[in-house]
Every structure is written in C-alpha cells, then in structure tokens.
Amino acid sequence: MDNFVIHGGKQLNGEIRIGGSKNAALPILAATLLTRDRCEVKNVPELRDIRSTFELLNYLGKNCFYGYGDFVAEERVPLKLHAPYDLVRKMRASMLVAGPLLARFKKARFSLPGGCSIGLRPIDIHLEAFKKLGASVTYEKGDVVLSAKKLKAARVKFRFPSVGATENLMMCASLIEGRTVLENCAREPEIADLALALKKMGARIKGEGTVRIEIFGAARLKGLKHSVMPDRIETGTFMLACAAAGGRVRLSGVVPKTVDVLTRHLRQAGIKVSAFKDAIEINSSGSKPRPVNIITRPYPGFPTDLQAPWMAFMTRARGACSVHERIFENRFIHAAEFCRMGADISVQDKTAHIRGVDALLGAPVMASDLRAGAALVIAALAAKGKTLVRRVYHIDRGYEKFEDKLRRLGADIERVKT
C-alpha cells in the first residue's frame, strides 16, 4: 500500500486543469449497457473506481477500451446479467448496472454492495423504485435479483433525494415506453450530465437538475459520443488546499456554478475567490481563516464530499465553528486523525465542534475514505513538519494524479511505495 510523505509550510501557486467528474463518469459508463451500439465517452478520469467499472463491464461481456481519458464500449457477445461480489465489493457504485440491465433484459443480479467507512449505504430506495416499475426483488446467497415480465412507466417518489437511485431509475426508465415521473430527485450536476448522455442515446428527459424528472423511454437506445463534465469535488478540494496552505492558484476547465456554495463559504472565511467562465482563482495568505459553520445537504447545499476538506481548512480558524453532517451517519473518522496533528475537534452525534489552533504539526495519519484522505493531505500541506498519510489507495479512487498536480503547484509531496 502506498503512502504520501508531505513536508508542510509551502504555499501553492500556479495553474492546473481539473479532470473529468468521477461521479458523472460512473453512471454514464453504466448507461452503455442500455445499448448494443458502440459508445465513446471522453474526459474520463484515470481512477481506481473507473478501472473497477471497466473490469465489471468487461466481465458482463462488453468489449471496453480505455486510455488517455477516452473510453469505448462495444458489444459482440450476449451479456451476463450478474455483477458478482468480488467486483461489486470494490465499489458501491457498481450497482448502477442494475437499472440498465433490468431495463434491457428484464433481469439483473448483483451482489448486495457492502457498507463502507462512512455508513451502511443501504439500497432500499433503489429497490422500492424498481418495484414501482413492475420489477420483483428477491435475495439469493447475498445477491439481489431483479426480474420483470414487463416493466411499466410509473410515478415514483423517493423518500430521500438519493443520487444513485435517481441515476439508476433514470437509466431504467429510458428504455420503458411511456412517461415515467420521478419525484424528490437528487439535483446534483452529475444527474444532468447523465440525462444529457441518455438524451443523446434517444431518451426524452425533462426536469433533470430539479426535484421532478420526466422520462419518456424508447423501445431501443442508440450509442453515444459524450464528454464528461468537470469534477466539481476535485475543484473544491483544490480550492480548499490553496485556502489552507496559502498562495494563488488558478483552476481551469471548471464550471464555477457547481461550486457556488463552497465559494460563498470561502469568501465568508476571508478567502479571495474569483470566478471566470471556465476557471476559478483562489488567493489566500494562508493565515488563520474566520470560523464558518457548515451543514452538509443534498445539492445545491454544501456537499458532503467536501465536508472533510472543509474541516481540514477550519482546524486553524480564528475561533470555534461546527460541521453538521446530514447525509451520512458516520463521516467523521478523519476528525480523530486531525487531532493526531494537534487539531482541537470534538464530535457529538452528527456534529463536529472545531476550536481553531495556532498550528497543526505533522504526524503519521491514515486515510479512511477518498475524501478524508484528500483532507489529510490538505491538513499536511498547512502543517509544520512532516506528515505520513497511509492508505493512499483511498485517494487514488477519486483523484487523478493528485500528488503530481499538487507538486506542480509547489507542494512538497511524494508517493512512497511500500
């Protein structure tokens, strides 16, 4: 397992280009199962989670090629309809193949995705919605089996605006003739990017990005050529890295609107943020920021995926603030790691209370999920001395060439293979 060794105290300066969105690419790659035609997806980031999806699609029978950000899927053999435990356990988003397989073949079998360090990650919202479309749900040896004689367009109301469930049902409904209405949908920008891809394949979709989405499915969908939107979470992670370490950084190839809520919070904390057409510039002295509370919420609220990076930034605030995690039940593991670096954080239920300290001190710490790992790197950049971040494979799941991009901005970081 690789580690990062970081010597803090260096400011970040310069420009980097943000890559394609992991959380937009994953459902769009799954959507290639909806058609036997050739699909080309560009701006796909080189990440472990993308590799896992590549492996799963190949296992199911797709003929996939991937290199230099371009992904091609072709189909020459009948597809398998079972996503096995060994592949699904690597990545929960593997269950995004369920909707396409059910829609096209009226059957899908996949291993129950396990939980992870941030929560149990149940899939009840997905399954309840599939039943509304006419699917039966059974369980066999740890697998979920979906099947249907015929699927029917229906009205589905999610009990919670689940991102994955919204994506799974949009894909499934895209092959069901008639009008399916999804209500209380997630509004994340990745949903709109998936809808754009599905429309290119022949589905008619209205309302993506709002709480109500209408899908007029087609009897058959065609292949697509699509370029994935920029990664708003990578964008926010680098904005917070510069805010914490200090310096002046320009992030190009971004959609500033998708990080509006972070921009507002950074400005409240005293950081200068300038937004341009497809770029964002952060200007930070690296001094102690004003304390600013956050509450994580579904988009357009503060994203849960930037909660840990924000906490890293607030460890040196001029006063006390709080972080309320409203999306996942266990997403504060990183708080204890920050405390190993000298931070003053206490956690009560779903709220972390942070009292700013003068400085963090480098220490050996451990990543517990991809965003917590990135947050530990942010803390290490701003800390005094040397930090060792273990289990970097978590970071590799969601950040392409993370240490290269940081080094290009002046950070003293290197990957040590163990």
Does the protein bind ligand EPZ through residue 328 (CB under 6 A)?
yes
Interface residue with ligand EPZ, options 25, 30, 73, 165 (CB under 6 A): 165
# residues near ligand EPZ by CB under 6 A: 24
Q: Which helix (H) or strand (E) holds 67?
A: strand 62-67
Q: Which stretch binds ligand EPZ (CB under 6 A): 39-47, 157-165, 264-272, 317-325?
A: 157-165
Point out which span in 60-68, 162-170, 177-185, 399-407 binds ligand EPZ (CB under 6 A): 162-170
Name which of 171 and 186 has its Cβ closer to ligand EPZ. 186
Nearest to 353 by CA among 373, 370, 338: 338
Report the C-alpha gap between 177 and 394 in whole angstroms. Answer: 40
What values do phi and psi take at 366, rounded to 5?
Answer: -130, 130
Nearest distance from C-beta of residue 121 to ligand EPZ, angstroms = 5
- Of 363 and 370, the one with the shorter C-beta distance to ligand EPZ is 370
Which one of 155-163, 306-314, 316-324, 337-345 is the stretch in contact with ligand EPZ (CB under 6 A)?
155-163
Q: Which helix (H) or strand (E) element contains residue 360? A: none
Q: Which of 146, 242, 327, 354 binds ligand EPZ (CB under 6 A)?
A: 327
CB of 161 to ligand EPZ, least distance (A): 7
At 387, list the tokens: 């930090």
Computed from CA positions of residues 394, 403, 9, 285, in that sequence, does the dihedral angle turn out positive or negative? negative
Strands (E), 265-405: 272-275, 279-284, 294-295, 320-324, 344-348, 351-355, 364-366, 386-390
97-105, 160-168, 213-221, 279-287 -> range binding ligand EPZ (CB under 6 A):
160-168
CB of 290 to ligand EPZ, least distance (A): 26
Q: Print the binding letters for residues 368-387 with ligand EPZ: x by CB under 6 A, - otherwise.
A: --xx----------------
Reference 146, options 178, 215, 99, 96; nearest CA is 99
Q: Among all residues, whose Cβ is closest to ligand EPZ? A: 164
Quote the least distance from Cβ 122 to ligand EPZ, whole Å.
4
- Please say whether the dihedral angle defined by the alpha carbons of residues 159, 165, 168 and 170, taken in this order, is positive or negative: positive
> Per CB under 6 A, which of residues 70..129 are in contact with ligand EPZ?
92-93, 119, 121-126
45 binds ligand EPZ (CB under 6 A): no
- Pick the closest to residue 373 from 356, 389, 362 (CA basis): 389
Catalytic residue among 116, 172, 242, 339: 116
Q: How far is CA 346 from CA 91, 102, 294, 325, in A?
A: 30, 45, 15, 14
Give the closest residue to 362 by CA, choosing from 394, 346, 340, 332: 340
Q: Which of 305, 325, 400, 403 binds ligand EPZ (CB under 6 A)?
A: 305
Judge whether 116 counts as a catalytic residue: yes
Quick one: 70 or 124, whose CB is closer to ligand EPZ? 124
3-state secondary structure of 81: coil
Q: How far is the CB of 400 from ligand EPZ (least distance, A)?
A: 13
One-letter amino acid of 205:
I
| CB nearer ligand EPZ, residue 89 or residue 407 | 89
Does the protein bind ligand EPZ through residue 334 (CB under 6 A)? no
* Token pair recorded at residue 206: 């209205």
CA–CA separation, 253 and 274 (whole Å):
14
CA distance 247 to 14: 9
* Residue 156 C-beta: closest distance to ligand EPZ, Å: 13
> What is the set of active-site residues?
116
Give the residues lining the site for ligand EPZ (CB under 6 A): 23, 26, 92-93, 119, 121-126, 160, 162-165, 186, 304-305, 327-328, 370-371, 398
